[in-house]
Amino acid sequence: MITSRLTSKAQTTIPQPVRAALRLREGDEIAYVIEEGRVVLTRARPEATGDDPFRAFSEWSGSADTKAYADL
């Protein structure tokens, strides 16, 4: 069993084996589904992320842009 700890701010780190299994990278969105008292965590599909007005700006998602806008 893979576990992680919840912080006082209700945050947790997704363990590396889970990130690897879901092929998660920085900036990826994850989806949660509650089923019969369990939570299923999956990588969110782009169409499942809702109406993101910035989704059209994918050309600004490079590492240089991430660094340049990190403090905003």
> Out of 2.10.260, 2.40.160, 1.10.10, 3.30.70, which CATH number does the structure's domain 13-47 have?
2.10.260
Structure-token pair, residue 48: 């499942």
- Sequence ranges of the domains in the chain: 13-47
Q: Which residues fall within 8 angstroms of residue 34, CB to CB, at 6 or more apart?
A: 40
Structure-token pair, residue 2: 């893979």
pLDDT digits (tens, 9 = 90+) for 20-70: 999 999 889 999 999 999 999 999 876 545 566 666 666 666 777 778 777
Please tell me the pTM assigned to this model.
0.58
